Structure 1
Amino acid sequence: MAGPWTFTLICGLLAATLVQATLSPPAVLSLGPEVIKEKLTQSLKNRNAAGILQQLPLLSAVQKQKSWGIPFLSGLVNAVKNYIFWLKVTSANLLQLQVQPSEASQNLMVKIPLDMVAGLNTPLVKTIVQMRIEAEVQAIIQVESSERGHSRFILTNCLTSQGRLHIILLRKFSFLVNFLANKVMGFLVPTLPQMVISELCPVIRAAFEDVCADLLRLVRVPISLGFTHLEFELLSPAIKSSAIQLNLRAKLSDSQGKVTNMFNDSLASLTLPTLNSAPFSLIVRQDVVNSAVVALLSPEKLAVLLDHVFPKLARQLKSSISLISEKAANQLGPTQIVKIFTQNTPVLLLREGNAKVAQQIVFEVFATNEAGCPFFTLGIEASSEAQFYTEGNRVMLNLNKISSDRIYRMNSGIGLFNADLLKDIVTKILFSILLPNENGKLRSGITISMIKTLGFEEAAVSVTNDALVITSARS
């Protein structure tokens, strides 16, 4: 069989790809404000953040406060406080969160508006005195690096202030009750922010840690590639503009869990497109995508009784061979066999907006199914248009057309000839036999479970010069 081949098309295109390459991660998962907001909101619900607000010790905070001013009025208010039966938050809601870039570079600001209603019960009036409390908690998402060089997302600087606190009575009562209620609200202004910080901020930090842990579990879910699995792990976190970015390493493992290929930072280029309005994007470097395609398109050996399956092609092949040797053409029987061997592994070539799969093929023709030696053996450097698209949370790949970019004679039992004489018929046979076989292997697609886990039913896929980009299809 042939020795090493000079695969001119592949080498040339790959060399062009690596020009001006910079160190890049194998994959990048970027999550925009919408995803961060929804994940954190759900985590706060799971942590019962609203219930924590309803447990704020308003009554004890008010009773600890001292009233200053006119002695008579101060004494009156302090005396009346002893007759407050209870003072507590009766309802609490966390309104729509906001996530936006912070004034400090490479940080994100999280704003959590709070809406509460508190009730005051006193013997001065038979009904509950209700007051509305509006506040806002702010916190910062940033990347923290340890002395050992490990990095992680943390939520820090969780605070609120009197300037973001508003308390109003929902209903007016008598002068004395209004006076008392206003005093109570005055007592809450300096104390309530600190209560929120001490009681709610730990819950917010814990909720954010839950979100980070969920994201790490999300990226580690193996992606099935037939008998091979593609897995991602966190390489480093980052904050870019209004998104958090997970730089990922990747590895391929076999069905026994043995790692067969490891991808880390490399000189392979990776251009990171901006999220724009997309809530998330998964950007996978070309060499990782290529390895996934290789795993799906394993080397193949095909043997076809051409006259039985494609009689028209059999007649065309006989006609083409007759131009080389009339004697050989007449030896072709009804059991003539075409054998196709895909050599080594295919190479995926990405360019902005389009992709190709290049592969090496050995092509042989046997006069009958009993013939021990082929008429000839051809070497073919072929390429196909590769179309990526999505169906739900699956990334699909289909090979369209096939061209014999270079065809040459490896050996011949029917004399010397120019292999280009067979180029047209060989290309037709590859289109009819090899292409359907390879598309059959690709038909199930690649399921990306994180799409639905992040809350999206559909995804979109695009191709850049050096990566495959998967984004949410939701506007």
Structure 2
Amino acid sequence: MKVCGFLFLLSLFTPWLDAKPGIKVKITQKGLDYGKQLGIDFLEQRIKEQTFANVSGQETYGFGGVDYTISEIKVDAVEFSNASVSLIPGTGINLEIKDATATVTAHWRVRSWLFRNSGKMTVLISGVSLSAVLSVSRDNASHPVLLLESCEAKVDAIHIELDKDASWLYKYFVNHLEKPTCVSLSNNMCPFIRFEIEKINAEMREHKVQAQIDSFAQVDYSLVNSPVISDTSINFDIKGTISPVGNDLETPFKPEPFNIPEENNTMLHIGISEYFLQSASLVYYASGAFDVSIAKELSSYFRLTTNSFGTIIPKIARSYKTPRPVTLDLKPTAAPVIRLHNGSTVLEIAGSMEVLVVLKNSTTQSMFTLSITARTHASLNIFEQKLIPSLCLDSFHLSLTHSNVGFFKVSLLKNFMSYILRNGVIPAANGKLKEGLPLSKMDSMMLVEPVVTVHQVLPQDVYCHGGWIKLMGGPD
């Protein structure tokens, strides 16, 4: 349900630990206006689906008392033609509805000592107004909770129409029901809103603040402090830590503070820090997810054999007269370091590459091992609510760590290894990265034409190092 996704964003205004965020989210007035329409559509649908209790009572006239019952009440149409949502700085959200209308059908039954009858009726309701202020708290399980701080409702007029064949007496009597019905509706609108908010809170409790990315990692979307509510936007901070599945241990580093500037042309801004990306790098490194064996990735370009190295390393050519397949096992020796600068995302990678020959019995034998340090840059895109990086190799350095085929000048392998890195290692890494890092789930909402920009933390943001990524867009 779209509205639940929007309310999930709005309802993340809750105090948490005194910590710095890895992710920041800003909802602008433009986003609130969009959410208002979602909320109105949602409210209209809920009202139409609502089951109303029977209304019974008694009216007294000159000829005695008349008992009446109104049953099978159903809202056929409802229209909120004038609705607005605005922010109360430092407090919450103000919802205003004016001049709403509705059409209700029901069955009626009257009984007195003189007569009794029943039939169908149509109730035309006009001039419905509602003013409500909502704030947000959290429960003991740290789920967001919407609170109705104040509510005022009023129905200006009700007109009741009976069946065409109803007598003038019944119509006269029913006309006297318009005023008490109007008062009853006015008194019950706010309890109805409160009841619907409780239902939303129940749905909100089903949302998990931790989302599993894959078999290796999970991301924590808990809030770290109270929101900052201005007259144009809502800003809230999310923990944004990626940790091993089933393990909530803190990372050995902390996020640096950053601020999303005031730009209100889009509905939603998401700021992602180096901390968020670096915590992901640490988890995947520790899990071994970055370990790759290069063979299939190169098969579309050429078949890697001992002959491929034999022209550079003479002992390989002498040892393997008949060409044998070669595989490359690449492992990082440390978690890749991620740096965000204005307009660029840089990854510094340190690893080792072991070159192995595949023997006739399908076992492998190590020929030599290289130490590799590489610098890459990444392009960042959003697809299906995931942040997907794609690496491109900038530069690298090789050194010989161990050799079973004698000493050789590593510089002779530079062009060859450049080809392997660009056409084997980097594509293999991108193949794993295409799974992406999930953004906070927003039900069926999708970001439309999101824009990704990379910023460096500026001195006026307290720290002059580190960086963050801003995702701008609006939901569909």
TM normalised by structure 2 equals: 0.64
Residues 16-165 of structure 1 correspond to what in structure 2 (within 5 A)? 24-28=20-24, 32-33=31-32, 34-35=34-35, 38=38, 42=42, 50-52=50-52, 55=54, 59=57, 63=59, 79=62, 82-83=65-66, 85-86=68-69, 90-92=73-75, 94-96=78-80, 98-102=83-87, 106-111=91-96, 113=100, 115-117=102-104, 131-134=123-126, 135-143=128-136, 153-161=146-154, 165=156
Q: In structure 2, which of residues 464, 468, 471 is the aligned counterpart of residue 469 of structure 1?
A: 471
Distance change (3 Å), C-alpha of 1:428 and 1:441? same
1:213–1:377 CA distance, 2 compared to 1 (3 A) = same
Structure 2 residues not aligned, in runs of 5+? 1-18, 456-467
Percent of aligned pairs with the same amino acid: 13
C-alpha change, 1:43 and 1:250, in structure 2 (3 Å) is: farther
5+ unaligned residues in a row in structure 1: which ranges? 1-22, 65-77
Tell me, in whole angstroms, the C-alpha distance in 2 between the residues paired with 1:47 and 1:262: 47
- 2:298/2:423 contact within 8 Å kept: no
Aligned length: 415
Per-residue deviation at 1:341?
Answer: 3.3
Aligned equivalent of 2:188, options 199, 213, 229: 199
User: Aligned partners of 2:252 and 2:50: how far apart in 1?
Assistant: 44
Considering only aligned residues, what root-mean-square deviation do their CA atoms show, in Å?
5.3
Q: Aligned partners of 1:43, 1:353: CA distance in 2, in Å?
A: 43
Q: Which amino acid in structure 1 is aligned with residue 21 of structure 2?
A: P
**Which of 415, 422, 440 does residue 424 from structure 1 map onto?**
415
Q: Secondary structure at the match of 1:292?
A: helix
Relative distance call for 1:367 and 1:201 in structure 2 (3 A) is closer
Larger Rg: 1
State how far apart, in whole Å, the 2-side matches of 1:165 and 1:263 are: 62
Choose which of 204, 214, 231 in structure 2 pairs with 1:225: 214
Verify the 8 A CA contact 2:125 2:158 in the aligned structure 1. yes
Alpha-carbon separation, structure 2, partners of 1:464 and 1:341: 28
SS in 2 for 1:259: coil
Provide Cα deviations, 1:396-436, integer angstroms capped at 9, x if missing partner: 635343232x425466877796x666543322111233123
**SS of corresponding position for 1:137:** strand
Cα contact 1:354–1:387 (8 A) shared by 2: no
Q: For 2:338, give the aligned amino acid.
A: L
8 Å Cα contact 1:118/1:131 also seen in 2? yes
Give the letter aligned to residue 441 of structure 2.
M
Q: Cα distance, 1:192 vs. partner?
A: 3.6
Displacement of 1:251 in angstroms is 4.3
Aligned-partner residue type, residue 378 of structure 2: E
Q: Are 2:332 and 1:347 aligned?
A: no
Instruction: List aligned pairs for 1:62-461, cutoff 5 A.
Output: 63=59, 79=62, 82-83=65-66, 85-86=68-69, 90-92=73-75, 94-96=78-80, 98-102=83-87, 106-111=91-96, 113=100, 115-117=102-104, 131-134=123-126, 135-143=128-136, 153-161=146-154, 165-168=156-159, 185=178, 187-188=179-180, 192-193=182-183, 195-196=184-185, 198-236=187-225, 238=227, 239=229, 247-255=237-245, 257-261=246-250, 266-269=255-258, 271=260, 276=265, 278=267, 283-296=271-284, 298-300=289-291, 302=293, 310=302, 321=312, 333=320, 334-335=323-324, 340-351=330-341, 355-363=345-353, 374=368, 377-390=370-383, 392-393=384-385, 395=386, 397=388, 399-404=390-395, 406-407=396-397, 409=399, 422-446=413-437, 450-451=441-442, 453-456=443-446, 460=450
Offset of residue 196 of structure 1: 3.8
Task: Say if 1:432 and 1:46 are closer, same or farther in 2 by CA, change over 3 A.
Answer: same
In the alignment, is the contact (CA less than 8 A) between 1:151 and 1:236 conserved in 2? no
Tell me the TM-score normalised to structure 1 length: 0.64
CA–CA separation in structure 1 for the residues paired with 2:89 and 2:328: 67
